[in-house]
Structure 1
């Protein structure tokens, strides 16, 4: 079982949902986290049914993200993903939340390698 992490920051960017031929879907977003003089921009991804968590948030919202760190190797290249499985507005005003963590470790990440790569690169996701 993967270790769970949590952080708070400001939602800076929401990417469009990506759907692949195999039926796998993901949506990425960026959270800015204060870190002294140089804030950090961290990109997360939501997969499958967790994509709907992003429906209740907007750019500029303060959010709290619970996530796992997932790593993989493909053609001798290594990748790290921050797999978000819970997202809430940090100010407590409700927002979208996937409060049950069932399925967060069902490793939909692994199913990314069942997808055909885009013709412009050889990365499987």
Structure 2
């Protein structure tokens, strides 16, 4: 399991993919690094309802699983997909925003030749 703290930016509607499978996507802004990241998660099945307890703008901690799968398209080309499956969404506690460990570490990193590229 992994965790990420950030601000809820988008909460989608529940999508009924099949009669027996539903999902709900949401986006969290992780502003802890030099370049803010917008991370899309999905809640599946009964986990869709946990998004009813949060709203856009809330600071949360998402506990999630990283899932990966392989798929072969009709032309025989193999593709790989990842998903971040939310297991739990907790309100982020005060003072727990994800930030660099210390300003000293950040300055050292920049001094070592940070090229300001986001990739």
Q: How many residues align?
A: 89
* One of 37, 46, 63 as aligned partner of 2:34: 37
For structure 2, list consecutive stretches of 5 or more residues without a partner in the other structure.
73-77, 95-119
For structure 1, list consecutive stretches of 5 or more residues without a partner in the other structure.
93-125
CA distance in 2 between partners of 1:64 and 1:21 (Å): 29
Instruction: Name the one with the larger strand percent.
Output: 2
Per the normalisation by structure 1, the TM-score is 0.67
Q: CA deviation at 1:17?
A: 0.8
Structure-to-structure mapping, 1:7-22, within 5 angstroms: 7-22=4-19
1:42-87 deviation per Cα after TM superposition (whole angstroms, max 9, x unaligned): 0000000101110011100000100010000111111000010100
Higher radius of gyration, 1 or 2? 2
Seen in structure 2, the aligned counterparts of structure 1 residues 22 and 39 have a Cα distance that, compared at 3 Å, is: same
Would you say 1:81 and 2:83 are equivalent positions?
Answer: yes
Per the normalisation by structure 2, the TM-score is 0.70
Secondary structure of 1:20 counterpart:
strand
CA distance in 1 between partners of 2:93 and 2:53 (Å): 13
Runs of at least 4 residues off by over 3 Å: none
Secondary structure of 1:7 counterpart:
strand
Would you say 1:6 and 2:3 are equivalent positions?
Answer: yes
Instruction: Please provide the CA RMSD for this pair.
Output: 1.3
Secondary structure of 1:55 counterpart:
helix
* One of 51, 54, 58 as aligned partner of 1:57: 54
